[in-house]
Amino acid sequence: MKNELFDVTIIGGGPVGLFTAFYSGMREMKTKIIEYLPFLGGKVSYFYPEKIIRDIGGIAQLSGEKVTDNLIEQAMTFDPTIVLNEQVMGLKRLKDGTFELTSHNGAKHYTKTIILATGFGTLKSVKLDLPLADKYEEKSIHYAIKSLASYEGKKVLISGGGNSAIDWAHELESIAEEVTLIYRKDEFTGIESNITRLMNSSVEVLNPYKIVELKEEQDKLSTVVMEHVGTNARKEMEVDYLIVTHGFHINLGPIADWGMTMEEGTIQVDATMSTSIPGIYAVGDISNYPNKLGLIAGGFNEGPIAVNSAKQYIAPNEKLGHLFSTNYELFKR
C-alpha cells in the first residue's frame, strides 16, 4: 500500500477538484485527492460558507456550504482516496514514466497522471495595513464572513470593489441595520448586473474613498475614517463591523518550479487541459488559456476534459467513448 500506484492524482480538493474526482471515478480510474487544508471544499467552504452561489447551471441559488457538501457527496461516489493536511512539494518522473510526488511531511505518492486543481494555491487575505487593524481582526474587522446572523441589526462598512464586496453588500442589506460600501476607484469591477442592483439598493455607496484611520473607544473599534481619493476630504463613520475584501496574496508554492509554462502566476494549458509537461493537466483557477471562463461552471467543464486526456495518455490505443451520468448503473461499483 505504501507505493500504491494511482491512475490520476488530483492536487486540490476544492469544487473543481471534487467534480474532477467524480468524473474520474466515472471513467473507472483509480483516483486520489491531495488537499493542503484539513478539510475538503477549498476556499468556498473556508471563505464563503454562507455566500449564495448562482452561476452553476440547474441550481437557482445555494449557499457555498451546501454546494460544497453536495460536491463532496458526489465526489465520494466512487471512493477516491483522500489525503488531507498535505502540501505537495516535489515532483519526480520515474524510469517507468510514472510520477513520484513528495509532500511537505515527506510522504510519497505515486501516480500515472496528475491533475492540478489547486485554485491559485494557498490564499491569504490582503490585510488592512493600519494601526489597530491587527488588534481587532476577527473581532470587529473581518476578511471573510462565516455567519450572516452575527451582523443582524449592526452598522456594517464593507471595503472593496469586486464581486465579493458587492455580493456581501447584497446579502447583508436585509440583515444589518446599515450597510455602506466604499471603494478606492471610480468604477466597480464586479459583474454588471450586480453593480446595477447595488446602485438601486439601500446600500450607501462611497467611491472613490479609501480607509485611512481606525479609531477605538473603550477597547472597541468605534469609527472608521475615510478619505476621498481625489479631494482628500475626510468622512468619519461609526461602525460595529468592518469587512475588508481587498483580494488575496497568492502562492502556488513549489509547484510553480516544476518546469511548466507559466503566465502571471497561472499555468498555460491547451484545449486538452495539458500543461507543457506530458501527463500533467491543470484545471480551474490555476489554468490559463484563451477565452477562459472564470466561473466554477467553467472549471466543471475543464475537469472532465482533463480526465479524458489523462485516460488517453495512460491508454493511447484505446478508443475513448462518450460518457454520461445517466449511464450511472453501467459504472456503479
Q: Does domain 127-244 have CATH number 3.50.50.60?
A: yes
Edge to edge, the sheet with strand 262-263 lists: 262-263, 266-268, 287-288
Name beta bridge partners: 236.
225
**According to the model, what pLDDT value does residue 144 have?**
83
CATH superfamily, domain 5-123+249-331, is FAD/NAD(P)-binding domain (3.50.50.60)
**According to the model, what pLDDT value does residue 151 have?**
95
Which residues does the chain have with pLDDT short of 50? 330-333
* Alpha carbon distance 210, 3 (integer Å): 54
**According to the model, what pLDDT value does residue 251 have?**
73
Q: Where are the domains of the chain?
A: 5-123+249-331, 127-244
Count CA within 13 A, CB hemisphere, residue 174. Answer: 3
Name beta bridge partners: 243.
142, 158
**According to the model, what pLDDT value does residue 228 have?**
96
**According to the model, what pLDDT value does residue 253 have?**
82
Whole-structure pTM over 0.75, yes or no? no
Question: Residue 147 carries which side chain, given as an amino acid letter?
Answer: S
